[in-house]
């Protein structure tokens, strides 16, 4: 698992299974999306407005991400800061 945070648009992307092809994207809600492969496995998660925080536990259950639970919960408690432009 690896992640990237784009501070210019305040988006956190978590690659759960890098290199796999996206078959479809599920919009969980307005600020959370999950990319699934052809077998329905969540291969990446996207969190919009990550700096204001995000919920992860329901995604762990919904997409069976128990092996990544600890790492995902650690990300949830990180302090993401958007770029401030004047």
Quote the pLDDT of residue 83. Answer: 85
> Using 50, 70 and 90 to split pLDDT, how confident is the model at 69?
very high
Q: Whole-model pTM?
A: 0.92
Range 67-78 burial, b when 16+ CB lie within 10 A, else e: ebeeebeebeee
pLDDT tens-place string over residues 7-62: 999 999 999 999 999 999 999 999 999 999 999 999 999 999 999 999 999 999 99
Quote the pLDDT of residue 85. Answer: 66
Q: Give Cα separations from 11 to 37, 44, 67 (angstroms).
A: 21, 13, 23
């Amino acid at each position: 698992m690896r992640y990237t945070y784009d501070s210019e648009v305040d988006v956190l992307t978590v690659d759960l299974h890098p290199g796999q092809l996206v078959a479809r994207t599920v919009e969980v809600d307005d600020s959370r999306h999950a990319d699934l492969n052809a077998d329905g496995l969540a291969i990446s998660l996207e969190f919009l407005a990550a700096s204001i925080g995000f919920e992860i536990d329901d995604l762990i259950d919904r997409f069976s991400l128990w092996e990544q639970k600890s790492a995902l919960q650690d990300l949830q408690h990180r302090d993401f800061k958007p770029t401030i432009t004047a």
